[in-house]
Amino acid sequence: RKEVEQDPGPFNVPEGATVAFNCTYSNSASQSFFWYRQDCRKEPKLLMSVYSSGNEDGRFTAQLNRASQYISLLIRDSKLSDSATYLCVVNPFNQAGTALIFGKGTTLSVSS
Amino acid sequence: DTAVSQTPKYLVTQMGNDKSIKCEQNLGHDTMYWYKQDSKKFLKIMFSYNNKELIINETVPNRFSPKSPDKAHLNLHINSLELGDSAVYFCASSQVQGKGVNTEAFFGQGTRLTVV
């Protein structure tokens, strides 16, 4: 099983749609979780951290299910500017210097 | 001011050459990384340094040698470049919180390396 697995998409949705991305991770001891966004030919940027209690930031909602080792991202009322690749990211170890492990990303294309 | 900066942004070079990519962060972070993003867009960790100490050295050819002169800098030197080394190389940094957990990573803008 891959460390972090995502559906690559692409997800093609109209403006205003709600879209959900899912991600699974293999290491049950993983400590922290994030969603990053990467635009074409740009660096990845943090979209939001993912907490056990779930968290919301405007139109974006992230959920974590530790028992199922599953992370989700929900985007409501999609905008054209949401078009990007969304990367599920896991910090698998409780040790200084360990690296974030990235999924391969899910591509979202929002059209008018 | 740019938090994580790397130079150069673009690098085109011939096979067999030796090249270096520099990275600096002004965030005061303890940990710095090198990631490689290949043509399939997969971001893969190459190296991780914590307080100038090498923590992670993934299966990377020994032609790749990272050097961390201080906490704020992590450079990547590549010897005898090959066609397959063509990729985007990202430098990143993060901070260690309590219990050794790293916060989110901040990335540099990337270095697009093309080997011809």
CA B64/CA B78 separation, integer angstroms: 5
Residue A9: its pLDDT value, please? 87
Q: Which residues of chain B lie closer than 8 angstroms to A87, CB-CB?
A: 43
Q: Which residue of B has its CA nearest to A33?
A: B104
- pLDDT, tens digit, 9 for 90 and up, residues B79-116: 999 999 999 999 999 987 766 566 789 999 999 999 99
**Inter-chain CB proximity A100 and B102 less than 8 Å:** yes
- pLDDT, tens digit, 9 for 90 and up, residues B2-33: 799 999 999 999 999 999 999 999 999 988 99
Tens-level pLDDT at each residue, chain A (112 residues): 678 999 888 999 999 999 999 999 998 888 789 999 999 999 999 999 998 888 999 999 999 999 999 999 999 999 999 999 999 999 876 555 577 889 999 999 999 9
Residue B59: its pLDDT value, please? 78
**Mutate which: B7, B101, B106, vs A, most A CBs within 10 A:** B101
Q: Which residues of chain B lie closer than 8 angstroms to A34, CB-CB?
A: 104
Q: Which residues of chain B lie closer than 8 angstroms to A31, CB-CB?
A: 101
Q: Tell me the Ramachandran region of residue B47: left when phi exceeds 0, alpha when psi lies from -120 to 50, beta otherwise.
A: beta
Q: Which residues of B touch A (CB under 8 A)?
A: 30-31, 33, 35, 40-45, 48-50, 53, 55-56, 90, 92, 94, 96, 99-110
Residue B101: its pLDDT value, please? 64
Q: Which residue of B has its CA nearest to A96?
A: B100
Which helix (H) or strand (E) segment holds residue A20: the answer is: strand A19-25
- Which of B31, B53, B104 comes nearest A46 by C-beta? B104
DSSP state of A59: T
- Output B82-87 pairs: Cβ under 8 A, ≥24 positions apart: B82/B15, B82/B115, B83/B15, B83/B115, B83/B116, B84/B115, B85/B113, B85/B115, B86/B39, B86/B113, B86/B114, B86/B115, B87/B36, B87/B37, B87/B38, B87/B39, B87/B113
- Could you tell me the two tokens for A32? 């922290």
Q: Which residue of A has its CA nearest to B88?
A: A41
**Inter-chain CB proximity A99 and B45 less than 8 Å:** yes
Q: Which residue of B has its CA nearest to A29?
A: B101
**Inter-chain CB proximity B104 and A99 less than 8 Å:** no
Q: Which amino acid is at A81?
A: S
